[in-house]
Amino acid sequence: MTSILVTGGTGTLGRPTVSQLQAAGHHLRILSRNPAAPTTETPRAGSTAPDHVVADLSTGAGVAAAVEGVEVIVHLATSQGAKDIVQTKNLLAAAAGVRHLVLMSISGIDRVPLGYYRAKLESERLVAESGTPYTILRATQFHNLLDKVLTGQRFLPLVLAPAVQLQPIAVEEVATRIAELVDAQPVNGRVADIGGPERRPVPEFARLWKQARAVRRPVVPLRLPGRIFRAYAAGDATVEGPAYGRITFAEYLR
């Protein structure tokens, strides 16, 4: 049984990751800023409920106590912005003696010129230069993110779908890969990026979403100027080689 700290353990990816690590018999500690944040599902037979620790990665308050005594850190927490850098710095400052840090990152962050992606790339660099044994996993966008973007247009008379290539993946499959990495030795680098089984233009995904959600509004492909759009249109956020995921967007929607 390994003692593991999961940052972001109550989030979209954190919940299935915690569930899978619990099922594998690991002792888990979940870091959250919110004292009342839920942890995960009821523990399965033979597993134990995770501990819950309150700490703030943005200020560093409580982080050293949260890390104390753990063997592995799974860093899933994200501000979805530039604060990722200071959060990673504060976590690394407390991580001396940890034998493995698994960092979750995003495919294409070195090719798509988004500010958030630059922060993720800097977080990767900080981990790589920290001296803590580590493994970095990059994944494509999650199914639920694409679903959220399309659902967020519910008050518009049409569905705007950027004419770019994406390769969404199920969070449960990303969680499975993280659990595999926790049980493996640090590679002190990146493992192969993972993505879903389909590489499609977003308008095609939008039509699948429209059918599944019984939406009548027309799907309108959206084209924009600029380097960010061109990078996505060129498939820079997708993954080369065989797909890791097996769950399609249509299966997710069902």
What pLDDT is attached to residue 36? 58
What pLDDT is attached to residue 46? 52
What pLDDT is attached to residue 48? 67
What pLDDT is attached to residue 2? 83
Q: What angle do CA 245, 232, 109 make, to 5 degrees?
A: 70
CA atoms within 13 A on the CB side of 207: 7
What pLDDT is attached to residue 38? 52
Tokens of 194: 């993972």
| CATH homologous superfamily, domain 3-139+171-190 | NAD(P)-binding Rossmann-like Domain (3.40.50.720)
With CA atoms as reference, report the closest residue to 162 among 235, 225, 223, 232. Answer: 223
What pLDDT is attached to residue 248? 98
What pLDDT is attached to residue 165? 94
Dihedral angle over CA of 69, 130, 195, 205, nearest 10 = 100
What pLDDT is attached to residue 34? 77
> Residues 194, 200, 201, 203: is their CA dihedral positive or negative?
negative
Mean pLDDT by 10 residues, the chain (254 residues): 92 96 95 67 58 95 96 96 97 96 98 97 98 98 97 96 97 98 98 97 98 97 96 95 95 97
**Close Cβ partners of 224 (under 8 Å, ≥ 6 residues apart):** 162
What pLDDT is attached to residue 40? 46
Asked if residues 28 and 9 have their Cβ atoms less than 8 Å apart, the reply is: yes
What pLDDT is attached to residue 182? 97
What pLDDT is attached to residue 33? 83
Segments making up each domain of the chain, as ranges: 3-139+171-190
Tokens of 28: 């888990």
Report in angstroms the alpha-carbon separations of 169 from 9, 19, 77. Answer: 19, 18, 18
What pLDDT is attached to residue 63? 97
